[in-house]
Amino acid sequence: MGEAEKGLFSVIEKLKASTEQEVRIVLLGLDNAGKTTLLKKLASEDLSTITPTQGFNIKCVASNGMKLNVWDIGGQRQIRSFWRKYLENTDLLIYVIDSADKKRFEETGQELSELVMEETLKGVPILVFANKQDLATASPASEIAEGLNLHTYRDREWQIQACCALSGEGVQDGMTWICNSFCNLKK
């Protein structure tokens, strides 16, 4: 079992304290950021057949009475207006950024900023995956965090995690943070 797969299962194991517990995660970001690749990696699926998401993908994993529901919603400009329809009852938001696509940092920052202001996401923890760190042109996660003004999000927990969805590098650390955040909220 790979590092990313162990990460997902360790999250489920840590969250299984109460039976029948369900965790709803919404996975967002601009098109081509790597959202579907990340989700397929977590679900141990083949990564050779990834195509742009036209709508959404849902992956559910059940273990010992726990259910982790991850909603991967397409990031094309014409789909983004529908993101808000999927935010109700979200426990955690994962926002994926292509760290090597500097031309779109302003656009992705604006989208994230608008999401954070949504009433349905008030207080919801945010994990930003700074994806594609394997590329030579990738900006470091700390630089992206500063550019996104993540330090201004004081009404919620947040974390930025450098990763490469293709290899799974950094994904385990993000999944561990998700588990810790969710477990702290449920205390």
Give the catalytic positions in this structure.
76
75 labeled part of a ligand binding site: yes
29 labeled part of a ligand binding site: yes
53 labeled part of a ligand binding site: yes
90 labeled part of a ligand binding site: no
30 labeled part of a ligand binding site: yes
87 labeled part of a ligand binding site: no
17 labeled part of a ligand binding site: no
Three-state helix/strand/coil letters over the chain: CCHHHHHHHHHHHHHCCCCCCEEEEEEECCCCCCHHHHHHHHCCCCCCCCCCCCCEEEEEEEECCEEEEEEEECCCHHHHCCHHHHCCCCCEEEEEEECCCHHHHHHHHHHHHHHHCCHHHCCCCEEEEEECCCCCCCCCHHHHHHHCCHHHCCCCCEEEEECECCCCECHHHHHHHHHHHHHHHCC
132 labeled part of a ligand binding site: yes
Residue 148's CB is within 10 A of a number of other CB atoms, namely 23
34 labeled part of a ligand binding site: yes
Binding region for Mg(2+): 36, 53
Binding region: 29-36, 53, 75, 131-134
